[in-house]
Structure 1
Amino acid sequence: MEGTAGREVEFNEGFREIQGLIRRYHPVSILKEALVYLYAPAKSKFDRTSRQPWLIMLLIKWVFLDVLSKKPMGRPSITQGQLQGLLQKVLDLTDSDRMPNEYEDLRLFFRALAYQQFFYQADGKLVDIARQETIFAKVPENHYFKTKFLKGVGLSIESFLRLSFALLASVGKQGMVLSREHLFALCPPFSPIEVDAFLRAVSVEVNDLNQTLTATDVDGRGPGEFLQQTPFLKFPLVKVGNQYWCVSPHVLSRSLGHFVYDYLKRDDVNSFNAPFGKAFESYVGKWLRKSKLPMVDENELMRGLSGQGGVVDFLVADGDSNVLIDAKGVEMAQRGMAALRKGDVRRATETSLLKAFKQGHEVVSRLPSVNSKNPVISQRSKNYLLAVTYKELYIGNGRTLAGVVGNAELDKIRANYALEHQIPIENIYFLTIHEFEELMDMVGCGKVGFVEFLERAKLADSSPDTQKFTFEMHLDELARHVGRSVPLIDVLKEMRDELAKKVPAFAASRYAVKEGKKDDTA
């Protein structure tokens, strides 16, 4: 059968076969054997990734979404061989997934794969814990972030992040199983009430899995499910008896690395957006100042520019170049992650990347008539635009933006500005906050110039042989020559040392933070 309808039929037939196999075995035994397979020793990162953990997460989801999983009495346990046979059925079913030629632009297909797979291939990012410490914990006690989190979770942000640090260390040594007692022993400074509040926040009871998964299962079964983010990002631990089973160290790391942000946003997005937008803009400005380059913020731009119009958050002068920077504390909704059509990405980026594109052009068009005493606010021969996001959008540069939203959409914006005021599409980049931190750290340390690096990236991206999918790949290339930068190293050391004073084992743990060491911190 050909076409979308044919693949729907193929998927439904294959899924019914898989569901029939699932119902032969006790669901908890499938969970256990799936994790045994996932955690088995691997020869290399490639060997571990070849197990396709995203499909393991999908199988576990299907097992516990089944309404009959609530009444498994009398079912035998699955063996490892039977489990791998079941996983092969899931792998075979991916043939019913969307084909690359169904995507309006091939870059949409690559974005969908990136969202599905990339974080399973990354090293644990303790720097994400440190970033949450800086943005969410270093605020006044009566701040919205702290009061809302404490009320909802029953634990302070500071304690949550330190327990997250400890848990990441524990899972690395303990494998898939973590006991409540072990966490108590690991973290004696925390009370039982605090540890229990933490575990409740990041786990789900195995007997509640069906109800919990069903509540978030909006789209139901279909081929598009293969590209969806796993729901276990919300609860990476499953409580089975007195044990907590970690569904994946990568899912755990990703979940804890963004937990405070995700929880506060999920709890009340409308109340969260305003304080977070302000905090994120301030955080980007803090890192920008590490470049030691002349800069102004949006308030100075509004005072210094003539006429009316939008402004970006920051303007940096580097030689005869202006770098315009806009902080967009956003993430991509599921529909935008796996979008087949450019229109879906356009709608998902209207208030972020497309808005930054417009604001950048408005600033450039107003610079020629400026009459400001501030030497930074001046027309220069080259203009660059950077938008910094909190999470990955996998739209690395202006060319990719044109590809995934449609060049016609950008032309509509450009049509409002004279040709000499248009920012070249190759001078536009979109960075995650982690990428921006690392770039500013390298610029501040004198390893590379700001515009110098942008020019290097632009040159590489001008050829299909050297172009990069993400901005981080440009940073990796530079690091091979000048050494790795470890952003937030001071925050990581402070958190580690604080725990080490109370728990001596931390001083010698595998999470000992060292200058320039990437594997455990970046």
Structure 2
Amino acid sequence: MLLSQQLRDKRYAKVAKRVHDAIRLYSGTELLANVVSRIHRQKERDVDEWRAQPPWLLLLLLKWIILYGSFGPIILRRVTDQEVDKLVNLMHGVDNASNQPKEHDNIRLFMRAIAYQQFLFQDPITLARIARQALLFRDLPSAHPLGTMFLAAKGVTLDDWIELSFMLASGFLSSPRATIRDSYFDGVRKRHSSEVTSAFLSSYSRTLPELRQYLQGVTLHKPQEFRERSPMLAFPLLRRADDLLCFSPQILLKSIEDHIYDTLRAADTERFMKHFGRRFEIYVRGGLQFLCEDFIDEKQLQSTFGSGKVTDFALIRDRSVLLIDAKGVDIGFQGMTTPSATTVVNRTRTSIIKALIQGEECGRRVLKQLGSRELFLLVVTYKQLYFGTGADFVSSIGAQRITQEGYDPTTAALRPENVYFVAIDEFDHLMSALHHDGVALTNFITQTRDLDSDPGSKSYVMKMHLVKRHPTAGFAPMYLQHEFDAMMKRISEAFDVDA
């Protein structure tokens, strides 16, 4: 097994080096400009274009251009579209040398790695995702630990950061442009000092030498490299002499969307999760309240059905019980792309597996008192983990492994096919669509389970079911839209610049 992995590593490194060597023949400046232009020209969900030059492939090529390109004064071979096309063709060869399905413990782990890399680019670009950051992190009580931690890490308050994030995203996403000038934030100097805006922008941008140094520290040329989400997520803007170049609008938006969470989690994971868990639970409660359905929370679960493990919420209906648990977790790059089922278990033991055990124990107590009903569990995570259903999760890691962890799928009252894992973005769209169409959440989950029982109608993630069955699924819920409108109003009052 070790030798086989060594051979795969050598195979990948050899194919990747062909691209690195080819990159060195050209002007790095011209190559970078050509590839960034291609990324910005791509149309959303253009299948033919994505097949020829997928955005994730172009971003890996861009990373290698920064690492190995020639940016000095010596004039090298000039760059044409035809020459870049040749590089793109070489990149497809790198794909063939990356980890393939047979090199994973099972096909679902391979599919998760693909989804993690690629589905990001299929999501619509919308500022509502930044409005979610405002609901989660804005207007915290004075001296709240999350606000204190963020100020210590960034030197900027959370409220200022969220407002500047919205301004930055608006600058690139409200019009098709790849750059903004340094003067872009001049219109808000009275509200945000130059020190604050500089600290903010420096968290998202690096000069070319700085970016190369960063990439050298995080790059490992092994087969899993091809499945990475671009490291440009850390610094989605290139700092140039008098402007900032956006590598990819999708990468910029995702970076902004996750920046607060990632910063706080990196600062002190245990302390962050202790305080964020409560904020996340409140957010999910707000979504359920928007749906206008009766539900009970964990305190009511314990007082009604006895002490023990409980979920955050439950919808009790005549024929079914839907438990809902909010898990504001992230399992990292390795957890998302690993070919090893054992690694998945280790990465999910305190989150996904814990939710299954909580749901099983809580559900048994509820059913013991209420009698026979269908038992369901909806696990809402902060980031998309691409596990789909409980049955998919069990098949990813193996029934024996998860039984050893304390959840036996063969005897559980909570059947694995009755469990769904959804990211917070999916949850928001679910609340919006069901509220608009007047569909009960328990009915939707039951129907989705029935569809997923047939391979012909099964979907990989919940959002795919939403899009197929509810045309309104693409709209943000009103609680996000209201926050979006409030942010736009604040910005219009403080921000008037022609950049």
Q: TM-score, normalised by structure 2?
A: 0.90
Deviations, residues 114-161 of structure 1 (Å, cap 9, x unaligned): 111111222113222111101111311311222222332232222222
CA distance in 2, matches of 1:302, 1:394: 31
State the AA in 2 paired with 1:205: T
**2:476 aligned with 1:486, yes or no?**
yes
What do residues 376-407 of structure 1 show as CA deviations (whole Å, max 9, x unaligned)? xx445111111110000001111111111212
Q: Distance in 2 between matches of 1:454 and 1:174?
A: 39
Match of 1:320 in 2: 319
List gaps (5 residues or longer) in structure 1: 371-377, 507-522
1:139/1:22 CA distance change after superposition, 3 Å:
same
User: AA paired with 1:234?
Assistant: A
Q: How many residue pairs were aligned?
A: 491
Alignment CA distance shift 1:42-1:359 (3 Å): closer
Question: What residue is the counterpart of 1:343 in the other structure?
Answer: 342
Provide the residue aligned with 2:421 in structure 1.
430
- CA distance in 1 between counterparts of 2:433 and 2:331 reads 28
Paired position in structure 1 for 2:38: 37
Q: In structure 2, what is the equivalent of residue 56 of structure 1? A: 58
Alpha carbons of 1:180 and 1:11: their partners in 2 closer, same or farther (altered >3 Å)? Answer: same
Which of 433, 437, 456 pairs up with 1:465? 456
Report which stretch shifted further, 442-451 or 116-125.
442-451
The equivalent of 1:256 in structure 2 is: 256
Cα distance in structure 1, aligned partners of 2:455 and 2:254: 31
Aligned 1:85-484 pairs, distance under 5 A: 85-172=86-173, 173=175, 175-185=177-187, 189-217=191-219, 220-306=220-306, 309-368=308-367, 370=369, 378-379=370-371, 381-412=373-404, 419=411, 422-445=413-436, 447-480=438-471, 484=474
State the Cα distance separating 1:27 from its structure 2 match.
Answer: 3.1
Q: Is the 8 A contact 1:461 1:467 kept in 2?
A: yes
Deviation of 1:316 after TM superposition, in Å, equals: 1.6
Cα deviation, residue 18, structure 1: 1.9
Q: Residues 150 and 403 from structure 1, CA distance in 2 versus in 1: closer, same or farther, beyond 3 angstroms?
A: same
d(CA) in 2 for partners of 1:333, 1:324: 26
C-alpha contact (below 8 Å) 1:108/1:404 kept by paired residues = yes
Query: After the TM superposition, which of the residue ranges 114-123 and 444-453 deviates more from structure 2?
Result: 444-453
CA pair 313-40 structure 1, distance change in 2 beyond 3 A:
closer
C-alpha contact (below 8 Å) 2:187/2:496 kept by paired residues: no
Q: 3-state DSSP class of the match of 1:24?
A: coil
- Per-residue deviation, residues 45-88 of structure 1 (Å, max 9, x unmatched): 3355342121222122223334x86x834253641333332222
Structure 1 equivalent of residue 492 of structure 2: 500
Give the CA deviation at 1:349. Answer: 1.2
Match in the other structure for 1:517: none
How far did residue 280 of structure 1 move?
A: 1.0
Deviations 1:482-518 (A, max 9, x none): 6654221111111112222344689xxxxxxxxxxxx
Instruction: Give the distance between the partners of 2:121 and 2:137, measured in 1 at CA.
Output: 26
Separation in 1, partners of 2:91, 2:243: 28
Deviation by residue 1:294-351 (Cα, 9 ceiling, x = unmatched): 3222223233333x63221112213331111111111122112112122121211111
Distance 1:379 1:432, change over 3 A: farther
1:340-376 Cα distance to aligned partner (Å, 9 max, x none): 1221212111111111111111112223555xxxxxx
Matches of 1:87 and 1:240, distance apart in 2:
26
CA distance in 1, matches of 2:190, 2:30: 33
Question: 2: CA distance between counterparts of 1:109 and 1:61?
Answer: 23
Q: Is the 8 A contact 1:11 1:96 kept in 2?
A: yes
Q: Aligned-pair distance for 1:43?
A: 9.1
CA distance in 1, matches of 2:495, 2:20: 47
Are residues 411 and 7 of structure 1, via their aligned partners in 2, closer, same or farther at CA, if it must alter by over 3 Å? closer
Alignment CA distance shift 1:42-1:133 (3 Å): closer
Structure 2 counterpart SS, 1:221: coil
How many Å separate the matches in 2 of 1:227 and 1:483?
A: 28
Question: For residue 237 of structure 1, what is the amino acid of its counterpart?
Answer: L
Contact 1:187 1:503 in 2 (8 A): no
The AA in structure 2 aligned to 1:211 is Q
Deviation at 1:418, TM superposition (A): 10
Contact persistence 1:126–1:257 (CA under 8 A)? no
Q: Please tell me whether the aligned partners of residues 27 and 79 of structure 2 are also in contact (alpha carbons under 8 angstroms).
A: no
SS at match of 2:470: helix
Q: Is the 8 A contact 1:38 1:53 kept in 2?
A: yes
Query: Do 2:136 and 2:279's aligned partners in 1 also have CA atoms closer than 8 Å?
Result: yes
Structure 1 counterpart of 2:17: 16
SS at match of 2:113: helix
Q: Which runs of 5+ in 2 are unaligned?
A: none
Distance 1:355 1:323 in 2: 17
CA distance in 2, matches of 1:101, 1:503: 54
Contact 2:309 2:358 in 1 (8 A): yes
Q: What secondary structure, in the 3-state scheme, does the structure 2 residue paired with 1:86 have?
A: helix
User: In structure 2, the residue corresponding to 1:258 is in which secondary structure?
Assistant: helix
Identity %: 28
Letter in 2 for 1:321: S
Mapped to 1, the partners of 2:407 and 2:255 lie a distance apart of 42
- C-alpha displacement at 1:449, in angstroms? 0.7
- TM-fit CA distance, 1:413: 6.0
